[in-house]
Amino acid sequence: MADFPKLVTARWDVEGAHTIDTYLAHGGYESLRKALAMSPGDVIEEVKASGLRGRGGAGFPTGVKWSFIPRDTGKPIYLACNADEGEPGTFKDRELMERDPHQLVEGIAITAYAVGSHQAFIYMRGEFLESARRVERAIAEAYDRGFLGRGIAGSGFDLDVVMHHGAGSYECGEETALLESLEGKRGQPRLRPPFPAVAGLYGAPTVINNVETLCTVPHVMRLGAEEYARIGTEKSTGTKIFSVSGKVERPGNYEVPMGTPARVVIEVLAGGVRGGKGLKAWVPGGSSTPFLTADHLDTPLDFESIAEHGSLLGTGAIVVLDETDCVVDAALRWTQFYAHESCGKCTPCREGTWWMTKVLHRMENGGGRLADIDLMLDVGDNILFKSLCALGDGAVSPIDSSIKHFRDEYAQHVKQGGCPLKKDHALQAATPRTGAAASAIRISEVLP
Amino acid sequence: MTIFGGELRAQADELIARYPRPRSALLPLLYLVQSAEGHVTQDGMREIGELLRLSTAEVQAVATFYTMYKREPTGKWLVSVCTNVSCALVGAREVFQRAEAEAGGKVTVEEVECLGACDAAPVVQVNYCNYDRLGPDDVAYLIGKLRAGEVPPPARGPKPVPHDETARILAGLGDERG
């Protein structure tokens, strides 16, 4: 197995790494001390120079994001850690929090110091009960040892951290929906501008960073920007965790330098396709990133290379389909997911995802027409970039890209009156995924 | 107020004080109602409205948005089966169908979206504690044990606690398990 230097997953094999004593014994909170000895502006410059880009999906430069925070508004500055991991196929943040929660706490402390925030929130996905338990204990230990609270690590800087549990909504991983939810509202996105850096939580300047991003910050401080930027590629620096799942022999999280060929991650680290079958399709960064095929396995896994080949690096969640799996079935299941999770605020996303499930369902179940293929592309075109957030854009990805690479398979569904792979709808949801309205109050409860 | 009386009122006040603005405690308070009432009741939503100076409709609008707030009585053990693609590729549909067939008594079964543990597919949770790589027979065994009053250990961490106690943890009042 190829051996790569590890940063954020380096302590995963260390017994008791989640406790503060073990964390301290392995150099824990040294990066925080180093940062506190610098000026906040210098910390931001260091992270900028490292080239670190957000690991939550969008890949925005982290230091640049921090530098947008105005310091003279008279309002408090907030930091929100996005721990609402929900992109299908993604499971890196959960494991980071379960195995090494102090790394996250240290990253939060450094980030809060850099941007001048004395109040941080961790928006923890509701279903992540074990992550929450580990992080909550880490927070308590950090308070106890003076790494949180008044005058952290012997400095003059105060920081409080509050953990907030989500309640089951993919949309709340979107940064403005996350803030709405943290304000006690429905998790629906806001119109931008203004961006959260200017008007975020309670209208105050707010930085929102993903768990993996924050976990990387202590390593940037430890190594220094120059050393960190030597890892990876010129524009995608450092390491990245790839969560590999689906039809592979060894599903799991693998941290590799950015720019590592997909083949190394899928075939070497994850052991290749299960049972020696052929690889049919894969996504590089979760369900919201377009499908690629076996022809793309030599693509380096970095933001630029993946984009050049027509997909997106996203969260680094690689889902693998083998030659016996039906892409129409997979596209339908993910479309059911988007229809279910669409918050309902914007018409193109709410209606488009719902109608797409109808058309795909008809096709998978034998009632499809050839014209449906272009109809779906047309519906997709009416969703893409026409809503307040990227949920609808993500919904278009599996459909558009599967038609692009597997148009014949769609046509065969029409000609043969159903799935040519005879998959018996193996991937479809078993119960109706009826969307944001599903749990709403029935009209009969309101009207006589 | 009948639900937010005594100890629960003190807990509500503690949660409200945790945030810069009271309304931020709305999600935690909905969990608190769920812990006290077993699910999010109409009376609970009205009382939250009184505590936060919101209309019942405003509270209801939020409660109905999130799937983890149950608006109907839910079993002591909520079994959630992921059937998103990574789990479905390795047989989650059969796992869910078997789970549904075995449900009843103190066990409620629901089909859910990606639980963020796809390396352990098919993934099942009992009150949000993970059980890894369960086949149809495994989930039937798990539900059989739960119905018989036994709680098998999850893949990681301490055993799950009943659904109402889980809601208390999710409200932010601390996880006292193990």
C-alpha triplet A300, A218, A116: angle, nearest 5°:
115
Residue A167 sits at the chain B interface (C-beta within 8 Å):
yes
Find the residue in B nearest to A274 (Cα). Answer: B90
Instruction: Yes or no: say if A318 and A296 are a contact pair by the CB < 8 Å rule.
Output: no
CA distance B3 to chain A (A): 20
What are the Cα distances from residue B32, in Å, to A151, A185, B44, B109, B178?
Answer: 33, 17, 9, 22, 22
Amino acid identity for residue B173 in this structure: L
Instruction: Yes or no: say if A341 and A437 are a contact pair by the CB < 8 Å rule.
Output: no
- pLDDT single digits (tens) A262-274: 999 999 999 999 9
Mean residue pLDDT across chain B: 96
CA-closest candidate to residue A311, choices A373, A181, A400, A410: A400
Helix (H) or strand (E) holding A116: none
pLDDT at position A442, please? 52
Instruction: State the angle between helix axes of A211-223 and A101-115 in degrees (0 to 180), rounded to the nearest 10.
Output: 80
- The answer on pLDDT for A285 being more than 60 is yes
- pLDDT single digits (tens) A117-171: 999 999 999 999 999 999 999 999 999 999 999 999 999 999 999 999 999 999 9
Distance separating alpha carbons of residues B114 and B98, to the nearest angstrom: 19
pLDDT at position A444, please? 52
- The answer on pLDDT for A425 being more than 80 is no
DSSP conformational letter for A191: P
Question: When comparing pLDDT for A240 and A421, which is higher?
Answer: A240
Find the residue in B nearest to A425 (Cα). Answer: B93
Of A166, A167, A202, the CB nearest to B21: A202
Q: What is the DSSP string of A133-188?
A: HHHHHHHHHHHHTTSSBSSGGGSS--BEEEEEE--S-GGGGSHHHHHHHHTTS---
Interface of A with B in 234-253 (CB under 8 A): 243-247, 251-253
Distance separating alpha carbons of residues A175 and A272, to the nearest angstrom: 35
Residues of A in contact with B68 (CB under 8 A): 126-127, 166-168
- pLDDT single digits (tens) A180-235: 999 999 999 999 999 999 999 999 999 999 999 999 999 999 999 999 999 999 99
Interface of B with A in 68-97 (CB under 8 A): 68-69, 71, 80, 83-86, 88-90, 93, 96-97
DSSP conformational letter for A189: P
Distance separating alpha carbons of residues B49 and B4, to the nearest angstrom: 11
Query: Which of B118, B156, B159 to mutate against chain A (most A CBs within 10 Å)?
Result: B118
CA-closest candidate to residue A248, choices A229, A232, A269, A228: A269
Backbone phi, psi, residue B109, to 5°: -115, 140
Contact B93 A427 (CB under 8 A): yes
> Looking at chain B, how many residues does it have?
178
pLDDT-based confidence at B114, cuts 50/70/90?
very high
- The answer on pLDDT for A432 being more than 90 is no
- The answer on pLDDT for A447 being more than 90 is no
Residue B176 sits at the chain A interface (C-beta within 8 Å):
no
Helix (H) or strand (E) holding B41: none
Helix (H) or strand (E) holding A209: strand A206-210
pLDDT-based confidence at A1, cuts 50/70/90?
very low
CA distance B24 to chain A (A): 4
Residues of A in contact with B53 (CB under 8 A): none
pLDDT at position B177, please? 87
Interface of B with A in 106-125 (CB under 8 A): 111-121, 125
pLDDT-based confidence at A439, cuts 50/70/90?
very low
C-alpha triplet A221, A227, A229: angle, nearest 5°:
95
- pLDDT single digits (tens) A335-380: 999 999 999 999 999 999 999 999 999 998 889 999 999 999 999 9
Of A125, A246, A341, the CB nearest to B89: A246
- Report the SS3 class of residue A364: helix
Contact B114 A439 (CB under 8 A): no
Put simply, whether the predicted model's pTM sits higher than 0.90 gets the answer yes
- Give the HSE-up count for residue B10: Cα atoms under 13 Å, Cβ half-sphere: 2
Residues of A in contact with B115 (CB under 8 A): 127
DSSP conformational letter for A275: G
Find the residue in B nearest to A91 (Cα). Answer: B116
Residue A216 sits at the chain B interface (C-beta within 8 Å):
no
Query: Of A50-54, A356-360, B138-142, where does mean pLDDT reach its minimum?
Result: A356-360
pLDDT at position B110, please? 97
CA-closest candidate to residue A260, choices A238, A287, A228: A238
Rounded percentage of chain A residues whose pLDDT exceeds 70: 95
pLDDT at position B1, please? 79
Average pLDDT (A27-31) is 97
Residue A361 sits at the chain B interface (C-beta within 8 Å):
no
pLDDT at position A424, please? 66
b/e map of A379-402 (b: 16 or more CB within 10 Å)? Answer: bbeebbeebbbbbbbbbbbbbbbb
Tokens of A269: 């680290």
- Predicted-assembly ipTM surpassing the 0.90 threshold: yes
Average pLDDT (A236-254) is 98
What are the Cα distances from residue A445, in Å, to A23, A440, A441?
Answer: 54, 10, 7
Tokens of A92: 């890196």
Instruction: Yes or no: say if B34 and B46 are a contact pair by the CB < 8 Å rule.
Output: no
pLDDT at position A5, please? 82
- The answer on pLDDT for A411 being more than 60 is yes
Distance separating alpha carbons of residues A36 and A148, to the nearest angstrom: 13
What is the number of CB-based contacts under 8 A between chain A and chain B?
186
Rounded percentage of chain B residues whose pLDDT exceeds 90: 97
- The answer on pLDDT for A446 being more than 50 is no
Distance separating alpha carbons of residues B178 and B168, to the nearest angstrom: 16
Q: List the alpha helices (DSSP H) in chain B.
A: 6-17, 26-37, 42-52, 56-63, 85-88, 92-102, 136-147, 163-168
Tokens of B153: 């250990």
Tokens of A397: 């990805």
Tokens of A140: 């308590």
Of A136, A166, A440, the CB nearest to B175: A136
CB within 8 Å of B104: residues ≥ 6 apart: B147
